Structure 1
Amino acid sequence: MIQPRPLLLRADASPAIGTGHVMRCLALAEAWQAVGGEVVLLSSALPAPLKERASSQGVDVVNLPAGFQGDEDTRFTAQTAAQLGALWVVMDGYHFPHTASSMLQAAGLHVLWVDDFGVKDDFAPDLLLNQNLGASTEWYPLLGPQTELLLGPRYALLRREFARWRGWKREVPERARRLLVTLGGSDPANVTAKVIEALVLMGDRAPTATVLAGAANPRADALARMLEGTPHQLCRQATDMPALMAESDLAIAAGGTTVWELAFMGLPSLLICLADNQRRNCRELAAAGAAVDMGWHEEVTPQLIAQTMEQLIVDAPRRAAMSAGGRALVDGCGAERVCLHLREGDLRLRPATMNDARLLFEWFNEPAVRAVSFSPEKVSWEHHCAWLKSKLSDEHYVIWLAEAGAGRLVGQARFVLEDDTATISISLAAESRGQGLGTLLIWAACRRLCREHQRIRRIEAWIKPDNVGSLRAFEKAGFQFLAEKDVHGQPAVIYEWRCGL
């Protein structure tokens, strides 16, 4: 088992800050744990419900000493990472000075910086993640050339509980009858109360609502009293958010990180902007046709909420279009993609040589490999040696072996190059399967091919329809469905990777 180094998350939560920074870090933690990595969250005065959630997820929580800020905070973060044996530190919070990045790097650490606004400062984390729609390189004019940008909703950090809903299709009823209200973990402006007032104004015309009170919401009891005598219910602890979204026909939500979950679930939403960092989300999602931008919370009245709901609950075509628009933006693989970047150093690719002939011969003829091949017959040793010698000298052919750990060979990736298109095939050694290495190998090999062969603009993978594991590995690596066709007289699913995306 190739176990990644521990991952250190640095994020805070409070009624003023909200819970979004910690929640999306916990989503990344789940993806890291899925490939066998340990995760620690370093936080200042984390609210008890969030601490319990992290612990239940298997994430250890370390408390930042009271009063630590700025450089003192950064030094303690570096010390914690060193004690943990972490290679990467994830920084998610607007109050962290950008100088923290260079301080952590000077301590021998790699830095993933999570941002929402854009940065005008001169700083250079190893990776910078902005999952928001419309994020671009123009938001970071002074970023160092060594920083790799991970931009847009394809990197949206969704929790693992959403994964099982990837193939689900929403049915849009003629009239929306169930409403989900989710206005952040703390809702400091108490906008939830306005929504409840709107429901009361609508009376029997209102959809039945589930109103969420987040972990850091200090007014949950008052909200419960407002709902007494109505058909609506308050939920203080959502144990299955995807199921709540699936059973709802419409949502009223804040413009924070939850919008990517709503988009993924195809849930038409009215978005109310609760903080400056949400303005772009609300505006861009509305422009994409995936939501309605209700505006700044102080300007949104119960009457406006009721009026907008009245119109949308009977407009099934519009809700269907909003649902499709959301699903087109978020595919639910964002956390796994970010982890691929964090793990890029776990595999080393080297060109194959004739000295690898015996190992490749054994891998090619392994029964599990032949079963998923479009040419399932076993290959003779003589034919294999002749084939390998020919391909190693062919400029249209690339064969790389993947090494992990102390030079242990774990698999191979092959490409056939033709004009601006390459076709990939991979295989893993039997003892290296089931560790997430297939996705990592696909991703790392494709990135390297695009760098070293710049005429290649796209890469295709031809996969048997019943090879579910391979289909999933290519999807997680960033391939998208292109077509179905016959390969050597057998049905095949064609997936595509676009270089530069």
Structure 2
Amino acid sequence: MPAAGILIRVDGNHAIGLGHIFRMRALTQRLIGNGFPVALAVRRETPGEMVLREAGLTVHGLADDEAFLPLARNCGAGVVILDVLNTSADLLRALRQTGIRRLVTLDDEAGGLEEADLVINAIVSLAGRYDAAACRAQLYEGPAYMILQPEMVRSGLPRPAPDRARRLLLCFGGSDTRGLSARVLTALGALPGPLDLHLNLGPAALQDEELISARMASPHPVTVMRGVPDLAACFQGMDLVLCAGGIMLYELATLGVPAAAIASELHELATVDFFAGAGCALDLGYYATLELNDLTVRLASLLDSAARRRDMARYGPLLVDGKGLERCVRLIGGLAA
């Protein structure tokens, strides 16, 4: 088994989405570009494994979670990065005992705060949920440390805001775990035209009967896309993007693209509230309590307000400057050197 200076543990599938996979892909590629040997460990036969292998990266497929510790023991890594949410202190101690020199965790309000060397908590919903002052690890927090795809970091003026938003993109992540595309298409169907709707389906998203029915019933034209080669350019070509409350909100903010977001998980409620409070997104609520009539009314108001959309485009890049990848590479590179 080839030695890896850095070993990254990450997962992604239909249930949990692919956001962690995409950001670890970006981190891996940048670390390799800086001269560090990197390998990734991911559950076998999952969409996450497929995405990483298609990128030409060194990937170890795991039969189960228990297979990771033996891999870490034998692969020769000096640094282990865990992007798995709230790591176990027992796992981190066990990794130390295998001879791992440095431990890094992301999105961690659990074991990493005491047992890791470095914790990067870019997700804003984690703020205030742990005692940062008592953290033994080096701790870096907030959107300044969000790892985005390099293509999402672009300069230039935002798209001019038309009097009424017409070009709308529905983009609910790599898997759309809550079936939000169908519900939003139905809500938009109650609005007058002309509307030019675009639906981007991620690699793990399923086009089920509900979505097909909503698309066929829409009075507005719906362009279905999958595997968009330049998603950033696609975002920038839209008057408004409708999304969930994950990493995509950070991407849209740094690009200066107006957003309307639905929290698809409880922890996303705080993220959506944060971006709405900063003026760069409209909070459409929680998926489980979503009322289609209310959704239609709130979207109609935003579509008709060029001033609100201009403010969103202006405030977004001030909140997320897009330099999180470089900051994280410097921090991790310092540990691995």
Considering the TM-score relative to the shorter chain, is it more than 0.5?
Answer: yes
Q: Deviations over 1:266-324 (max 9, x none)?
A: 11111101112211101111111111111110211232222112111121111111112
Measure, in 1, the Cα distance between the counterparts of 2:152 and 2:130: 30
Match of 1:193 in 2: 182
Q: Deviations over 1:40-82 (max 9, x none)?
A: 221113534x4343233232221112xx33xx34423423xx4
Measure, in 1, the Cα distance between the counterparts of 2:128 and 2:181: 35
Match of 2:203 in 1: 215
Match of 2:224 in 1: 234
1:111 aligns with 2:103: yes
1:133 aligns with 2:124: yes
Judged with a 3 Å threshold, the aligned counterparts in structure 2 of structure 1 residues 258 and 237 are, in CA distance, closer, same or farther, namely same
2:315 to 316, 322, 325: 325
1:62 aligns with 2:60: yes
Q: Which runs of 5+ in 1 are unaligned?
A: 348-501
Identity over aligned pairs, percent: 27
Judged with a 3 Å threshold, the aligned counterparts in structure 2 of structure 1 residues 122 and 210 are, in CA distance, closer, same or farther, namely closer
Measure, in 2, the Cα distance between the counterparts of 1:75 and 1:177: 51
Measure, in 1, the Cα distance between the counterparts of 2:31 and 2:270: 29
Q: 2:104, 2:117 within 8 Å by CA — same for their partners in 1? A: yes
Match of 2:72 in 1: 78
2:275 to 285, 291, 299: 285
Q: 1:122, 1:142 within 8 Å by CA — same for their partners in 2? A: no
Q: 2:105, 2:112 within 8 Å by CA — same for their partners in 1? A: no
Residue type of the partner of 1:92? D
DSSP-derived class of the 1:119 partner: coil
Structure 1 stretches of 4+ moved >4 Å: 134-138, 141-144
Count residues in correspondence.
331
Match of 1:340 in 2: 330
DSSP-derived class of the 1:335 partner: helix
Measure, in 2, the Cα distance between the counterparts of 1:323 and 1:76: 48
Measure, in 1, the Cα distance between the counterparts of 2:202 and 2:18: 8
Q: Deviations over 1:437-477 (max 9, x none)?
A: xxxxxxxxxxxxxxxxxxxxxxxxxxxxxxxxxxxxxxxxx
Q: Select the structure with the greater relative contact order (CA < 8 A; seq sep ≥ 6).
A: 2
Matches within 5 A, 1:19-418: 19-48=18-47, 50-65=48-63, 68-69=64-65, 72-79=66-73, 82-83=74-75, 85-94=76-85, 96-109=87-100, 110-115=102-107, 118-119=109-110, 123-133=114-124, 135-136=126-127, 139-141=130-132, 143-145=134-136, 147-163=137-153, 165-205=154-194, 207-219=195-207, 223-224=211-212, 226-228=214-216, 230-345=220-335
Q: 1:92, 1:114 within 8 Å by CA — same for their partners in 2? A: yes
Judged with a 3 Å threshold, the aligned counterparts in structure 2 of structure 1 residues 106 and 167 are, in CA distance, closer, same or farther, namely farther
Measure, in 2, the Cα distance between the counterparts of 1:200 and 1:345: 52
Q: CA deviation at 1:157?
A: 0.7
Residue type of the partner of 1:340? R
Match of 1:460 in 2: none
Q: Which runs of 5+ in 2 are unaligned?
A: none
RMSD: 2.5
Q: Deviations over 1:235-276 (max 9, x none)?
A: 122221101111011111100111110111111111101112
Judged with a 3 Å threshold, the aligned counterparts in structure 2 of structure 1 residues 277 and 57 are, in CA distance, closer, same or farther, namely same
Q: CA deviation at 1:138?
A: 6.2
Q: Deviations over 1:72-102 (max 9, x none)?
A: 34423423xx42x432221112374232222
Judged with a 3 Å threshold, the aligned counterparts in structure 2 of structure 1 residues 137 and 89 are, in CA distance, closer, same or farther, namely farther
Q: CA deviation at 1:12?
A: 1.3
Q: Deviations over 1:328-347 (max 9, x none)?
A: 11111111110101111577
Residue type of the partner of 2:81? V
Q: 1:227, 1:233 within 8 Å by CA — same for their partners in 2? A: no
Q: CA deviation at 1:225?
A: 5.0
Judged with a 3 Å threshold, the aligned counterparts in structure 2 of structure 1 residues 62 and 122 are, in CA distance, closer, same or farther, namely closer
Judged with a 3 Å threshold, the aligned counterparts in structure 2 of structure 1 residues 203 and 169 are, in CA distance, closer, same or farther, namely closer
